Amino acid sequence: MRVIQVLDAEEQRQAFVRMIVQEDLDLHDVWLEYFAMSGSASEEEVALYAVGMVMLPEAQRDLLALAAQESA
């Protein structure tokens, strides 16, 4: 049986930031991967999301998390 953990928006943002820091990822490179996956947020919006100043829609957060995983 597979357990799926559901994160709320802020938990998801914090997990994204932890991954960026722990994997020493460049946010610009993650954004490029995200954009290539049809992400719609601008690079500035992603930077603001990373510092908690804006919240992205759920689908965009999920895509950004996937882009970070692909970049790691």
Residue 50 lies in a domain: yes
* Sole residue written with tokens 């997990």: 15
Domain residues for 34?
Answer: 9-71
Residue 32 lies in a domain: yes
Residue 3 lies in a domain: no
Residue 67 lies in a domain: yes
Total tally of structural domains belonging to the chain: 1
Q: Which residues contact 15 (CB under 8 A, 6 or more apart)?
A: 7, 65
Task: Convert the pLDDT of each residue in 15-62 to its tens digit.
Answer: 999 999 999 999 999 999 999 999 999 999 999 999 999 999 999 999
Burial of 27 from C-beta contacts in 10 A (0-12 / 13-18 / 19+): middle
Distances from the Cα of 46 to the Cα of 2, 4, 30, angstroms: 31, 25, 9
Q: Where are the alpha helices (DSSP H) in the chain?
A: 9-22, 27-36, 43-50, 58-71
The band of 7, judged by pLDDT with boundaries at 50, 70 and 90, is: confident
Is this model's pTM higher than 0.75 or not? yes
